[in-house]
Amino acid sequence: MAAELLGLFSHADQALKAAGGLRDTGFQEISLMSPTPLHGVEQVLGRKTSAIKRFTFFGMLTGLLAGFLLAAGTATLYLLPTGGRPIIPIPPYLVISYEVGILFAVLATLFGFLVSARLPALRERHYTPETHIDRFGILVTCSSEQDAERARTIILAAGAEEIRQLEYLGKKSHEQ
């Protein structure tokens, strides 16, 4: 059964040391909680690339295609030959494609933001008031008891003041 360990530290450098040790040991799901901005987290845990730009790119491509197909489809369904012009003139349709592309890109960006921010929350998240006042916390997800013991040893060696074993909350329950 998956469990989560929460280590509480009084100093940021201890928390960063523990996070680096956990990362070097092979733990992937590590979260740092801090009452202030913590510099050096990206160097310790590695920089995570945002997927929002991919949502925007594919939203723009989809919008360009949808806008052009909308304009071209309308022109072919309702033929209106005018003065020797082609049925599907490209230059005016580029404007329509561009506008629909921007619309789709904005909507895809909003959707990508919600996905990467994990909204709406599909599982309960742990709230630790101490990490909003004066302590630094590390939350690590362990898949087995052996992993939990390894993580506990690393966190204690880094100078944790307290370690709590939290239950993995899983899916959010709607019953209260």
Q: Which of 25, 39, 19, 12 lies closest to 131 in space, CA to CA? A: 12
Please provide the DSSP assignment of 22-55 as one string: HHHHT---EEEE-SS--TTHHHHH-PPPPSHHHH
Q: Which of 31, 32, 22 lies closest to 158 in space, CA to CA? A: 22
Q: 42-55, pLDDT tens digit by residue?
A: 889 888 889 999 99
Q: How many helices (H) and strands (E) does the chain have?
A: 5, 4
Are 123 and 171 contacting, i.e. CB atoms less than 8 angstroms apart? yes
Q: What band does 173 get if pLDDT is binned at 50, 70 and 90?
A: very low
Third-level CATH fold of 3-46+123-167: Alpha-Beta Plaits (3.30.70)
Is residue 171 pLDDT above 80, yes or no?
A: no
Is residue 129 pLDDT above 50, yes or no?
A: yes
Domain ranges of the chain: 3-46+123-167, 52-116
Most confident of the ranges 31-35, 36-40, 103-107: 103-107
